[in-house]
Amino acid sequence: MADEALIVVDLQNDFCPGGALAVTGGDEIVPLVNDLIRNAEHVVMTQDWHPAGHSSFASSHPGKQPFEMIEMPYGPQTLWPDHCIQGSIGSDFHSGLAWSKAELIIRKGFRPGIDSYSAFFENDHVTPTGLAGYLRERNIGAITLVGLATDFCVAFSALDAAKQGFATTVRLDACRGIDLNGSVDTMLGRMRAAGVTLV
């Protein structure tokens, strides 16, 4: 499977129970993800990596609450609780995650003025992370995505991967979702329509 990569999305403390933006059951997937890592030839991790005071934090917008929507220059943006601040314990990978096999760690969300869900592009859908070029240069044409959260960073990564021409699979048993106003079903539908394989 030399032409395939496993991409583990944002399996960080702040997205697990007890974290600042906890995804229900987020820690339950760690043993399965570790099994997938053991059996994968190529492993890439993504890490949400926000500076303090990031523009996607509700605390940066007086009078706004977490999970409200605002318009940013690049489009609609969900406001989040402060999370995954650079160098914090919350930004660390889950302590049970066997992350040391990762060949590449893509940090995203580090630009103060723009959020970043996808492993491939910032939320303006224009600014690349460099992941597509990295995979192409290594002749990797197929990826499997796992991690957190199904309906945000995993889904947007999958949509961008498919658009970039990668054969894209999402292992739903190794993901957990936030589910804001039915966002899991919405994003599952969008992924299916884009040709992403959901298993």
pLDDT given at position 199: 97
Number of domains in the chain: 1
SS3 state of residue 183: helix
The active-site residue, picked from 82, 153, 160, 175, is: 153
**Annotated catalytic, 10?**
yes
**Annotated catalytic, 64?**
no
Structural domain range at position 94: 3-198
Interior/surface letters 161-174, b for 16+ CB within 10 angstroms, e for the rest: bbbbebebbbbbeb
pLDDT given at position 51: 98
Going by C-alpha positions, the residue among 149, 47, 152 that lies closest to residue 97 is 47
What is the token pair recorded at 166?
Answer: 């990668």
**Annotated catalytic, 153?**
yes
Is pLDDT above 70 for 2? no
The active-site residue, picked from 27, 82, 108, 160, is: 108
For 23-71, the pLDDT digits (tens) are 999 999 999 999 999 999 999 999 999 999 999 999 999 999 999 999 9
Helical spans, DSSP H, in 19-176: 30-39, 131-137, 155-163
pLDDT classification of 144: cutoffs 50, 70, 90 = very high
CATH at 34:
3.40.50.850
